[in-house]
Amino acid sequence: MKRYLLVTLMALPLTAQASTPEQRGFQVYRQVCATCHSLNQVHFADLTGIGLAVPDIKAYAASHQVPDGVDDDGDPKTRAAHLTDPIGSPYPNEAMARLANHGDVPPDFSRLAMTEEGGAKRIETILRSYAPKPVDVVLGPGSYYNTAFAQNHIGMPPPLRDGQVAYADGTKATIPQMAQDVGAFLDWVAHPHRVARSDTGLVVLAYLAGMTVLLALLKRRVWKRLKESRQ
Amino acid sequence: MSKPDTTPSGWLETRLPIVSAFRREYVDFAMPRNLTYLWNFGAFATIALALLIVSGIFLALNYTPSVAEAFNSIEMIDRHVSSGWLVRAIHMGGVSMLFAALYVHMARSLYYGSYKAPRELLWLTGLGLFILVMIAAFAGYILPWGQMSYWGATVVINAMNAVPLIGPALASWLLGGEGLGSVALHRIYVLHFVTGFSIVGVIVLHVAALHVVGSNNPTGVEPKASDDVVPFHPYYTTKDGLGLCLFLMVYAALIFFVPDLLTLANNYAMANPLVTPGDITPEWYFAPFYAILRAVPSKLGGLILSAGSLAVLFAVPWLDRSRVKSARYRPMLRWAILGLFLTFIALGVAGMHKPTGLWLAISRVSVAYYYAYFLILLPLLPKIEVTRPLPASLRGESV
Amino acid sequence: MSRRIASLLFYLGSGSCFDVDTFLWPPDDHFILFKQDFMTQDADRPTSSPSCPLPGGGTRRRDVLSTVIVGAGCVGACALAYPFLDSLNGTKNTTLGEDDSIDVDIAALRPGQQLVVTWRGWPVFIQRRTPEMLASLKATDIVQHLRDPDSKILQQPKDAMNWHRSVVPEIGVLIGICTHLGCVPSYATPSANDKAGKYSCPCHGSQFDAAGRVYKEAPAPYNLPVPPVTMLSATQLRIGQSKGDPAFSIASIQQI
């Protein structure tokens, strides 16, 4: 009996694996942000890059419906998304996006951490800077009070609240935590192949450094001949 | 007469003497023995161009030149095509490295008087190459169809429209009649690669012109004796090779570790014809000319000054009549030309900022000095300067 | 040793005598001076390379450094070529086992009729067979005209290795690509003259019977391929998965 208890206790840490910020950020994206924001350039299959298991990705893709031409009656039909499809937009077209968001289109996330001045850190700051509107401030409909902006307002309603998401590894889902995780996820989305890039770069620089040394030696040897023979 | 060469290379030689030509031009070719590393930058530019052309061809296999698909096809290359991110990075980084090499190369020529007789045509073909490179870079930047692509194109085409007589016609040909859309993008795509390939042809002319007169050297004194020169191989093959490794290290550091340093982040947003971004800046290599364009309030005036800044370079061999080539022996010119380089850099920095207040003042002063250098100082200095005595041979004063 | 190999490679590569040392260290008097004053005639040049058997290494020093540099340079050049050539693979790099099955509703399919759908970019013929068609498939007299009547060559999943080449006899599913050179065969609907129905390829005249089995006279070598099919119900079938042969992959067939 004691042996079985011990084995179970040892197995427990293996089932609740620590997740990375990008994985947690993806979970927040999926449950909160994807309601309004699109991810048009990232394919479902790309999510293996943050360590998601293939069956989970397949299930996620299967839960999305994408347009699939017309059926025999001439009506548009849909199918479940394939792994090579883009994660896409929650809205079927731009007009619906504007209708649902008082005339604005929620920006696509694919490169937001790059085009937003200040990058992922700025996005995190924006998410953390919602505050109750002071009494003397007047905001139009569709504007929400946010101290991260010079004019103190933003068109996006506060998306995060404490405990909104139940992280798989038990991390407490406070607003700062979720903001940070979303920032990490968007940073990963905006910089594809970042790891491969730096790894390749190290190899290339090491190779070039070696060649520099060798060529410096050869060059010196060649040019020394000049000094020797032609005084 | 040696006995007939029956080897395979001998067979080729009697029909097309490329083996002996190669040996003559790139192995045995006599070079001044005192060239510094500043003379490597022509070779660096050629390598950067070769990488740009090869990466460009492979990018072209996956790129679609239409408004609907351009941005998406580039994202596809960056994210989903095998090694596409690297091919694209080589292409984007290559442009900056090419311009950097060319600016150093041209500065070297200005400083050491490499444009003077008998090298005037070398200088002119080089300037022609520079203009072709600028056209190719401008066209290439439009292709991703990001915000900066679209609005940069808009600014330049409107500037083109301001050119009297031929401007509107040129702009109309580029656009294909309607506004900046798929027709224009397709034409700009063809312009981009046709210009790129033309550059290769003009380089052949440039190097041919060089090989007639031979390289200049830091003293400006032409080689006179056989021990003033060394064969290109192995002396300058090894020196160029070493310099190339360092050049490639900078290139690699740029594309692998700081890829966003020189790119404008706003170009990762798809072009929106209804929303102009808050600050339109060109890429760094066009910034000096952009600063000149905005230095004066007049549209045509800015255009004339900006185009004129290139045009005046064509006249340099005839503006500068000094018999002394190298600025090493012309102390007054040395200060003047260092001032020119600083001015150009200042223009570059000013071009990346809004043309107001301090930056506008810097631009104006810099434009004034730029023109003063070429139009006043260059013709005037030979009359009033005292040059240092030239050495007897390029091997220096010690001989 | 490496120097000998390098010399050998240079020798073989240039097709003429080419010595590593001479390549890297041309003799001092070996270059021409440019410019009119210094131009020498070709005839004045000293005879170029010394007569060169494979270098024995006797009089020349070992030039390890140059050889290593040239070798490493070649390695670097090949490594540089890799991403360019790899990019030719395009976006076909998903190894994630895509499930691209399609579900087809055949309720409206009449006997003798064929429906064409697309699966994986290929045309797929779905037939509802008449009793006469089934009888003709069983008949022995056409068997002698067929190249592979018993479907011995792997062109179908296991549950289609039968006399009707399908999961259920009444429904036939075939990939409509002629195994000769890839044209799409036309379907001859069973008519009063020919109750069996068959396929004829317009390009080079290959003929297939109603179950896609190729005739001997045809230039096509193999039967029409059968995709993996599961009958979800009497009116719904799924192309892409086979319940009777789950491990089957269409990539394993002899030829599409």
Residues B272 and B322 in one domain: no
Is C65's CB within 8 Å of A218's CB?
Answer: yes
Query: Which tokens hold the place of B394?
Result: 């390029």
Average pLDDT, chain B: 94
Say how many CB pairs under 8 Å bridge A and C. 37
Contact yes or no for C31/B29 (Cβ under 8 A) = yes
Q: Do the Cβ atoms of C126 and C135 come closer than 8 Å?
A: no
Which of the two residues, A167 and C10, has the higher pLDDT score? A167
Q: Does residue A156 sit in the same domain as residue A131?
A: yes
The reply to whether A115 and A214 lie within a common domain is: no
The whole-angstrom separation of Cα C91 and Cα C93 is: 6
Average the pLDDT over B4-32 and give the result.
Answer: 89
| Domain containing residue A110 | 19-38+89-192
**H or E segment to which residue A182 belongs:** helix A175-190
In 3-state terms, what secondary structure has residue A179? helix
**Does some domain include residue B265?**
yes
Distant-in-sequence, close-in-space partners of C224: CB < 8 Å, separation ≥ 6: C155, C174, C175, C176, C177, C178, C179, C185, C199, C208, C212, C213, C214
Residues B142, B69 share a domain:
yes
Domain-embedded: residue B13: no
Distance of alpha carbon B159 from alpha carbon B300, whole angstroms: 8
DSSP class per residue in C34-81: -HHHH---GGGSPPSSPP-SS---SSSPP-HHHHHHHHHHHHHHHHHH
Residue B85 sits in which domain range? 26-276
What's the rounded Cα separation, in Å, for the pair B95 and B98? Answer: 5
Q: Same structural domain for residues A182 and A210?
A: no
Bridge partners of residue C186, in order along the sequence: C200
Condensed to tens digits (0 to 9), the pLDDT of residues B146-158 reads 999 999 999 889 8
Query: For residue B44, what pLDDT is reported?
Result: 98
Q: Given C69, C99, C100, which is nearest A218 (Cβ)?
A: C69
Sort residue C40 into left (φ over 0), alpha (ψ -120 to 50) or beta: beta
Long-range contacts of residues C131-139, Cβ cutoff 8 Å, at least 24 apart: C132/C190, C132/C195, C132/C196, C133/C190, C133/C195, C133/C196, C133/C197, C133/C210, C134/C164, C134/C169, C134/C170, C136/C195, C136/C196, C136/C197, C136/C209, C136/C210, C137/C163, C137/C164, C137/C196, C137/C209, C137/C210, C137/C211, C138/C163
A134 and A229, same domain (yes or no): no
Residue C8 pLDDT exceeds 50: no
In a shared domain, residues A162 and A225: no
Residue type present at position B175: L
Contact between C76 and A207 using a beta-carbon 8 Å cutoff: yes
Identify whether B12 is part of a domain.
Answer: no
Chain C positions contacting chain A at CB under 8 Å are 28, 65-66, 68-69, 72-73, 76, 79, 91, 94, 96-100, 108
Q: What does the mean pLDDT of chain C come to?
A: 78
Interface residue B233 vs chain C (CB under 8 A): yes
Same domain, B207 and B351: no
Residues 6 or more apart whose CB falls under 8 angstroms from that of A66 comprise A78, A79, A80, A81, A85, A88
Q: Could you tell me if A99 and A212 lie in one domain?
A: no
Give the pLDDT of residue B246: 98
B160-197: pLDDT as tens digits: 888 889 989 999 988 987 789 999 999 999 999 999 99
Given a contact as 3+ CB pairs under 8 Å, which chains touch C? A, B
Q: Which of B123, B98, B97 is nearest to B110 (CA)?
A: B123
- Coil, strand, or helix at residue B57? helix
Q: Are residues B115 and B152 in the same domain?
A: yes
Q: Using one digit for the tens of pLDDT, what is the confidence trace for B249-272?
A: 999 999 999 999 998 999 999 999
pLDDT band with cut points at 50, 70 and 90 for residue C4: low
* C-alpha span between C147 and C158 (Å, rounded): 19
The pTM for the full model equals 0.86
- Assess whether A184 and A169 both reside in one domain: yes
- Find out whether C132 and C195 touch, Cβ atoms under 8 Å: yes
Residue finishing a domain among B241, B276, B311? B276
Q: What is the pLDDT of residues A134-145, one digit of tens each?
A: 999 898 888 999
pLDDT at A215 over 90: yes
Gap between the Cα atoms of B132 and B200, Å rounded: 10
Q: Give the Å distances, CA to CA, from B331 to A112, B323, C110, C248.
A: 53, 14, 98, 83
Contact A175, A127 (CB under 8 A): yes
- Indicate whether B15 belongs to any domain: no
Query: Bigger pLDDT: B169 or A8?
Result: B169
Taking residues B23-44, report their average pLDDT: 95
Q: How confident is the model at residue B396 (pLDDT cuts 50, 70, 90)?
A: confident
Domain co-membership, B272 together with B285: no
**Lowest mean pLDDT segment, chosen from A16-30, A119-133, B65-79, C8-22:** C8-22
d(CA B362, CA B356): 10
Is residue C174 within 8 A of residue C117, CB to CB? The reply is: no
Among B385, B375, B367, B376, which Cα is nearest to B315's?
B375
Task: Mark whether B215 is an active-site residue.
Answer: yes
| Three-state SS at A77 | strand
**Does residue B191 sit within a domain?**
yes
Nearest to B81 among C17, C82, C90 (CB): C90
Of B28-32, B160-164, B238-242, B314-318, give the lowest mean pLDDT range: B160-164
Structural domain ending residue among the three candidates B276, B295, B327: B276
Instruction: Measure the CA–CA gap between C40 and B229, rounded to whole angstroms.
Output: 15
For residue B319, the domain's CATH number is 1.10.287
User: Percentage of chain C with pLDDT > 90?
Assistant: 43
CA distance B33 to chain A (A): 9
* pLDDT tens digits, B260-318: 999 899 999 999 999 999 888 899 999 999 999 999 998 889 999 999 999 999 999 99
Supply φ then ψ for residue C173, to 5 degrees.
-125, 120
Q: Where are the alpha helices (DSSP H) in chain B?
A: 8-15, 18-22, 41-60, 70-79, 84-112, 120-142, 147-161, 167-175, 182-213, 237-257, 287-293, 299-314, 316-319, 331-351, 357-372, 378-384
Tell me what percent of the residues of chain B surpass a pLDDT of 70. 98
Q: Does residue A119 lie in a domain region? A: yes
Checking ipTM against 0.95, whether it exceeds it is no
Taking a C-beta distance cutoff of 8 angstroms, is the pair C109, C126 a contact? yes
Is the domain of B128 the same as that of B209? yes
Q: Are B242 and B251 in contact (CB under 8 A)?
A: no
**Is residue B5 annotated as a catalytic residue, yes or no?**
no
List, in sequence order, every residue forming a beta bridge with C118; answer none if it has no partner: C123
Q: Residue C92: is it exposed, middle or buried by C-beta count within 10 angstroms (0-12/13-18/19+)?
A: exposed
Q: Quick one: A222 and A135 in the same domain? A: no
pLDDT for C11 beyond 90: no
Strands C114-119 and A144-145 turn out to be unpaired
Token pair 């800046």: residue = B281
Contact call for residues B215 and B72 (beta carbons, < 8 A): no
Say whether B28 is catalytic.
Answer: no
Give the separation between CA A78 and CA B183, rounded to whole angstroms.
33
- Judge: B55–C84 Cβ closer than 8 Å, yes or no: yes
Has residue A39 got a pLDDT over 50?
yes
Q: Which of C98, C99, C115 is nearest to C107 (CA)?
A: C115
Pair (B187, B322) in one structural domain = no
Contacts (Cβ under 8 Å, ≥6 apart) of A203? none
Distance between CA atoms of residues C62 and B93, nearest Å: 39
DSSP state of B260: T
Q: Are residues B308 and B341 in the same domain?
A: yes
The verdict on residue B168 lying in a domain is yes
Distance from CA of A145 to the nearest CA of C (A): 44
User: What domains are defined for chain C?
Assistant: 2-87 (no CATH), 102-252 (2.102.10.10)
B206 is catalytic: no
CATH at B204: 1.20.810.10
Domain of A25: which CATH number? 1.10.760.10
Amino acid, res. A160: L
Looking at the structure, tell me whether residues A186 and A111 fall in a common domain.
yes
B153 and B93 in one domain?
yes
The pLDDT score that the predictor gives to residue C221 is 94
Q: How far is A218 from chain B (nearest CA, A)?
A: 7
Compute CA distances C211 → C107, C153, C225, whole Å: 21, 14, 10
Long-range pairs of C132-138 with CB within 8 A, sequence gap ≥ 24: C132/C190, C132/C195, C132/C196, C133/C190, C133/C195, C133/C196, C133/C197, C133/C210, C134/C164, C134/C169, C134/C170, C136/C195, C136/C196, C136/C197, C136/C209, C136/C210, C137/C163, C137/C164, C137/C196, C137/C209, C137/C210, C137/C211, C138/C163
Which pLDDT value is given to residue C57?
Answer: 36
Position C230 scores a pLDDT of: 93
* CA nearest neighbour of C87 among B86, B13, B263, B190: B86
Are B142 and B58 in the same domain? Answer: yes
Residue A78 lies in a domain: no
Task: State the nearest Cα–Cα gap between C16 and chain B, in angstroms.
Answer: 6
Residues A113 and A215 reside in one and the same domain: no
A25 in the same domain as A102:
yes
Q: Is the pLDDT of residue B217 over 90?
A: yes
Query: Is B355 inside a domain boundary?
Result: yes
Of B224, B248, B276, the position where a domain reaches its end is B276
Q: Rounded mean pLDDT of B111-136? A: 97
Q: How far apart are CA A206 and CA C170, in angstroms?
A: 67
* Number of domains, chain A: 2
Q: Are residues B205 and B295 in the same domain?
A: no
- Confirm whether A7 is domain-assigned: no
- Joined tokens for residue C235: 């009116």
H or E element that contains C188: strand C186-188
Q: How far apart are CA B298 and CA B287, in angstroms?
A: 18
Partner residue facing A111 (CB), from B249, B257, B268: B268
Is B283 among the residues known to form the active site?
A: yes
| Pick from B227, B257, B266: CB nearest A201 | B257
**Nearest-5° angle of CA C195, CA C199, CA C200?**
120
**Tally of domains in chain B:** 2
Question: What pLDDT, on a 0 to 100 scale, did the predictor assign at position C191?
Answer: 86
Q: What is the pLDDT of residues A157-174, one digit of tens each?
A: 999 999 999 998 889 999
- B10: in domain: no
Query: Which entry of C30, C164, C180, C204 is annotated as an active-site residue?
Result: C204
Identify whether residues B321 and B251 lie together within a single domain: no
C91 contacts in A (CB within 8 Å)?
84
Do A114 and A206 reside in the same domain of the chain? no
Q: What is the pLDDT of residue C16?
A: 40
Whole-number Å distance between alpha carbons of A6 and A29 = 38
The pLDDT confidence band at residue B385, using thresholds 50, 70 and 90, is very high
Q: Which residue has the higher pLDDT, A10 or B326?
A: B326
Residue A144 lies in a domain: yes
Q: Does C103 touch chain B (CB under 8 A)?
A: no
